[in-house]
Amino acid sequence: MGYELNMRVWRGDASGGHLGSYAVEVEEGEVVLDAIHRLQATQAGDLAVRWNCKAGKCGSCSAEINGRPRLMCMTRLADFEETETITVTPMRTFPVIRDLVTDVSFNYEKAKQLPSFAPAPRDRDGKRRMMQVDVERGQEFRKCIECFLCQDVCHVVRDHDENKPAFAGPRFFLRYAELDMHPLDTNDRRQLAQDAAGLGMCNITKCCTEVCPEGIKITDNAIIPMKERVVDRKYDPVVWLGSKILRRDQRREVGPARPTPQPESHRPRPKGVLTRPEVARALATDLPAWSRTGDAISRSVDAPSFMDGIRLVLRVAELAESHDHHPDIDIRWRTVTFTLSTHSAGGVTARDLRLAREIDELAG
Amino acid sequence: MVSTSSTSGPTRHPGSSPTRHPGSSPTRHPMTGNRMDHGADSGFETHDYDVVVIGAGGAGLRAAIAAHDADARVAIVCKSLLGKAHTVMAEGGIAAAMGNVYDEDGWQVHFRDTMRGGKMLNNWRMAQLHAQEAPERVLELEEWGALFDRTPEGLISQRDFGGHKYARLAHVGDRTGLEMIRTLQQRAVALGIDVFMECTVTDVFTEGVGEIGPGHHEYDHRRVTGAFAYWRETGRFIVFNAPSVVLATGGIGKSYQVTSNSWEYTGDGHALALRAGASLINMEFVQFHPTGMVWPPSVKGILVTESVRGDGGVLKNSEGERFMFNYIPEFFKSETADSIEEAEGWYTDKKNHRRPPELLPRDEVARAINSEIKAGRGSPHGGVFLDIASRRDAEFIRRRLPSMYHQFKELADVDITAEPMEVGPTCHYVMGGVEVDADTERSTVEGLYAAGEVAGGMHGSNRLGGNSLSDLLVFGRRAGHNAAYHAQNASLERSLPSPTEVKAAADRALAPFHLHEWEEGENPYTIQKDLQAVMQRLVGIIRTRDELAESLGEIEQLKERAKNLLVEGHRQYNPGWHLALDLENMLIVSDCIAKAALEREESRGGHTRDDFPTPDPVWGGKNLVLTLPGGSFDTPVELRHQPLPEMPQQLRSLFEDAQ
């Protein structure tokens, strides 16, 4: 039944580390993650490891076991000899945070760059119709649990940090293929997959398919068809003609996704920057001549003559110097526009409101 | 042995990897891209939001999307990476009366099934809203890219599940939860919502409103001002200034030994709500899913989807008997087949046959399995047999149940197309949760909302399979909208968390690193294990007065021990420390469950008392409400009785018609 397992587990952080040797009691039927948990509970309470479902469904506990990228929860101890020492190290392609935990933000950044699903309108009854055979291709790709083992094993980025900016990796080729094959999508991402995501850098070594714990045929079913589609689009005159006729190809070519720009009120607000309602209240109560545009407030003054306008600008300039807070000034014949914003804070602050009041006094 | 450097302290700078830029200001968090305010080297960063959503499962993501759509500035804060929340474990489907398979289905039928499944203890208004709004919520997911299985006409296919009169569950094979979370995650990313990943909230800040009487320190009610959290990666603290907080933290399963829940399920939201002054209801009702894996030990508790039974699987004991026919309760007799012939007919002709008893609500099936095992008719590893291999062909099983096939093959060396599975009950879901207003999901604290498993009322004493995913969508959206509206109304008079409160929250979080030298430190892993053993043994499926009373004594002792927690290492990604902080939540919640279970002297849904084996109509009109007036984990939980909200006649007649 139970036996003592010898393990080597990488311990350390970004500044360096080493393989720690441990002996841990294990039981029949256990997986590598069980052994790691027992280490945590009995010998190394601070051993850092990610995990969640422990059933191969969430893709959190990715690591390299004896050098092979695997899920710790799906790697059975029975697959090793009892006398064999099992070595567990963090995924190599991503920077280490601590012990077995790596910084996988690369993947979340790549996800943000991908233009999302853009469906055609619903049918008249408010529902949508797709045939099972048409959704099955996409469904295979949507089995992905985002364990990022395919990203980890991919030689384009493994040990090649310099390729990361231009290469999205197998996980996202899967996503491109999924959307490209979606019966209701209206975006054309083929050029983008080739250019921005670096599909062309993949030379189909199939390592990603080999390590996929979900058994998704990443290379055969996603990457190769995507490569073919990109090529078709470029060179095939029939496809070109078809694209003029068939609905399916009347798709909109899209560039890299920029997350829907949040209204500025949605961005984290630095210290001192007033909220929109706060600005609105100030303008309403004692700065009626001012209005807000974006991150700034502005007011125009109609001077009696061009030279009166210039004299006003001079007085405001002196005031601004004394406060070390400078407005943007626009002069058009006898109309002068002052725009105030605290650029260092990225928005309207109390300093802007004070300067606005003083400009009002000078302008009358 | 290994030693790691422990140079960290409260002032430690986040990370030191070359990809990060310590000291440059302002900078972005390396994991999330969120802006970090480095002005505060004393160990805090501060963020202002309208709505802070705690939890990134289905309810949290849906709430965040709704709040964003209502023009609020939203943050999602979650303990794991985005997309890993427990929702991915949901297998069967989303219950919604879309009528794609059976025209006869409609919200009234779904409402009635839900109320009956919950033994009429549900908040009727929540059950009604849920049944009415679920179909549109499902269609919305499709709008955002979800690929559901289809009917021959190309519509979203719907499958049978326990307690649902018609085939009603929209699904993707047996990985519906993954499809749902990925869809919502991708939607949230496309909208550019800020996500604080691997970040744990330990306090919700509130202030008193409406002082009662001059010189008094009693308030009319409390109002949210923000929340306190730490980055798991660095241990660095975060103060959120926000008038609205949505709790979407899921359940409490980790308090039990055998559970389908992951490490995250430590009752955080339940405890945060109590400590902030809100109340919990229905905590005595814990759902034990009838079919969890029982072998090998390392996977004990992992879920085996109800779809196995929906798609034709049956339960058998060691004598080969299909025993569920012996356990049909009076309440469900009229709609359940009482012979094998009739049950078999149902799979192909639902109009002229009643449902097989394997598809009774989960509480009934779990109790039946429990009884068979106790009577000595269990399987070799202490479960019963779930057989689909002898009833459906291998191709069908692999297509309809791919994850189950995979799970048993990989983890237990069992080929479910050729041999039966061994299954037994596993702690799966808590019906109880934060007491909320049915329409707005607001708790008794102004600005504090709850949705999904952490909210109480919707499911009464027992939840039907498939109603959880629809619950997340319906009430996640409502909570998000209302939290956004509240923030808008509060925008001109926002109070900030007081410095004293913030200091207290930081001290509390750091306590497990410091102990007086004369005290002996307790290992958080050991206390967690002891708590799980107590809950499993004394507050499990079948309960008695003596055992529940004993459990309360045990929990009290564990609370004493938990005052002396000591963790090794430093603040950077330290699971021991994280567990120490979660443990207080588990203790509070376990106390609530045991207290309410002792009080309710009847058996109903997910609460079975050996000493009071039947439902009692008097108890059927009452909720038990729990509060924590002392505000900290080592102060007593208080309990009171409260009548159920009364269902209007118009809805009551739905039940009379059906009889």
> pLDDT tens digits for B550-585?
999 999 999 999 999 998 888 888 999 999 999 999
DSSP state, B525? H
pLDDT-above-90 percentage for chain B: 78
Question: Does residue B350 sit in helix, strand or coil?
Answer: coil
Q: Do residues B3 and B12 touch, judged by C-beta distance below 8 A?
A: no
Residue A20 and residue B1: Cβ atoms within 8 Å?
A: yes
Q: Dump pLDDT digits (tens) for B346-394.
A: 988 888 999 999 999 889 999 999 999 999 999 999 999 999 999 999 9
| Average pLDDT for chain A | 88
Task: Tell me phi and psi for residue B504, to 5 degrees.
Answer: -65, -40
Using the Cα atoms of residue B165, residue B91, residue B604 and residue B246 in order, give the sign of their dihedral: negative
* Cβ–Cβ contact A322 with B under 8 A: no
- Distance between CA A306 and CA A290 in Å, rounded? 21
For this complex, say whether ipTM is above 0.95: no
Where are the extended beta strands (E) located within B279-355? 280-281, 286-293, 314-316
Contact call for residues A145 and A213 (beta carbons, < 8 A): yes
Put simply, the chain A residues between 122 and 151 with a CB less than 8 A from any chain B CB are: 122, 126-132, 135, 138-139, 142-146
Average pLDDT over residues B178-194: 96
Whole-angstrom distance between the N-terminal and C-terminal Cα of chain A?
92
Which pLDDT does position B570 carry in this prediction? 84
* Interchain contact, A260 vs B192, CB within 8 Å: yes
Tell me if B364 sits within 8 A of B323, measured CB to CB: no
- Count of all residues that appear for chain B in the document: 659
B-chain residues within 8 Å CB-CB of A131? 150, 154
Q: Write out the two tokens for B310.
A: 């929906």
| Cα A83 off chain centre by | 43
Q: What is the DSSP letter of B325?
A: G
What are the pLDDT digits (tens) for B481-499? 999 999 998 866 788 999 9
**Which residue in B573, B581, B583 has the most chain A C-beta atoms within 10 A of its own C-beta, making it the best mutation to test that interface?**
B573
- Tell me if residue B47 falls in helix, strand or coil: strand
Contact (CB<8Å) B575/A12 = no
Distance, in Å, from the CA atom of A174 to the CA atom of A197, rounded to the nearest integer, reads 11
Show residues of chain A in contact with B529, CB under 8 Å: 41
Contacts of B147 in chain A (CB under 8 A): 130, 135, 138-139, 142, 182
Percent of chain B with pLDDT over 70: 91
Distances (CA, A) of A16 to A12, B235, B301, B435, B596: 6, 19, 38, 49, 51
DSSP code at position B569: S
Q: Which of A275-284, B285-294, B301-310 has the lowest mean pLDDT?
A: A275-284
Chain B residues lying within 8 Å of A111, measured CB to CB: 186, 189
**pLDDT tens for residues A304-347?**
888 999 999 999 999 898 888 889 898 888 889 899 988 877 78
User: Measured between CB atoms, does A60 come within 8 Å of chain B?
Assistant: yes
Residue B91's pLDDT is 87
Min CA distance, A41 vs chain B (Å)? 6
- Do A338 and A329 meet the contact criterion of CB atoms below 8 Å apart? yes
* Cα separation values, B588 from B170, B228, B642, Å: 36, 19, 21
Binned at pLDDT 50, 70 and 90, residue B217 comes out as low
The answer on pLDDT for A255 being more than 50 is yes
Residue recorded with tokens 């997910």:
B606
> What H or E segment, with its residue span, contains residue B470?
helix B467-489
Q: Which residue of B has its CA nearest to A140?
A: B147
Q: What is the mean pLDDT of residues B61-75?
A: 96
By CB neighbour count within 10 A (0-12 exposed, 13-18 middle, 19+ buried), where does A213 fall? buried
If you average pLDDT over residues A223-227, what whole number do you get? 93
pLDDT above 50 (res A266): no
What CA–CA distance (Å, rounded) separates B124 from B646? 8
The residue among A207 and A230 whose pLDDT is bigger is A207
Give which of A6, A8, A52, A187 to mutate to test B binding, by max B Cβ within 10 Å: A52
Cα–Cα distance between B143 and A339 in angstroms, integer? Answer: 43
| Kind and range of the H or E run holding A335 | strand A335-340
- CB-based contact B102:B74 (threshold 8 Å): no
- Gap between the Cα atoms of B595 and A93, Å rounded: 50
Interface residue of A97, A101, A186, A216 to substitute, partner B, most B CBs within 10 Å = A97
Question: Per-residue pLDDT tens for B125-141?
Answer: 999 999 999 999 999 99
Residue with tokens 């080597």: A8
Q: Enumerate residues 224 to 263 of chain A having a beta carbon within 8 A of any beta carbon in chain B.
A: 257, 259-263
Q: Do B88 and A269 touch (CB under 8 A)?
A: no
More confident residue, A344 or B199: B199
Residue A321 contacts by C-beta under 8 Å, 6 or more apart in sequence? none
CB contact A280 to B (< 8 Å): no
DSSP string, B154-220: SSBPEE--TT-SS--EE-STT-HHHHHHHHHHHHHHHHT-EEE-SEEEEEEEEEEEEE-STT---EE
Phi, psi for residue B231 in degrees, rounded to 5: -75, 125
Span A276-286, average pLDDT: 78
CB contact under 8 A, A104 and B4: no
Provide mean pLDDT across the span A251-274: 64
Provide CB contacts within 8 A for B500, sequence distance 6+: none
B271: Cβ–Cβ under 8 A, 6 or more apart, which residues? B584, B585, B588, B589, B633
For residue A80, with 0-12 CB atoms within 10 Å meaning exposed, 13-18 middle and 19 or more buried, which class applies? Answer: middle
Q: State the Cα–Cα distance between residues B501 and B497, nearest whole angstrom.
A: 7
Q: Tell me the two tokens of residue A207.
A: 């390592």
The SS3 call for residue B138 is helix
Question: Which residue in B has a C-alpha nearest to residue A100's C-alpha?
Answer: B573
Angle between helices B649-658 and B107-117 (to 10 degrees): 80
Other beta carbons within 10 Å of B103 = 8
Q: Which two tokens stand for residue A93?
A: 């392609």
| pLDDT tier at B43, thresholds 50, 70, 90 | low
Would the pLDDT of A287 be above 70? Answer: yes
Calpha distance B226→B224 (Å, rounded): 6
Nearest of B477, B483, B430 to residue B458 by alpha carbon:
B430
Picking from A99, A103, A266, the nearest residue to B30 by CB comes out as A103
What pLDDT shows up at residue A346?
78
Closest CA to A39 of A58, A26, A55, A56: A26
- Judging contacts by C-beta atoms under 8 Å, the chain A residues touching residue B15 are 14, 97
Report d(CA B233, CA B197) in Å as an integer: 9
Q: What CA–CA distance (Å, rounded) separates A314 from A316?
A: 5
pLDDT exceeds 70 at position A41: yes
Give every CB contact of residue A254 below 8 A, 6+ residues apart in sequence: A115, A118, A187, A188, A189, A192
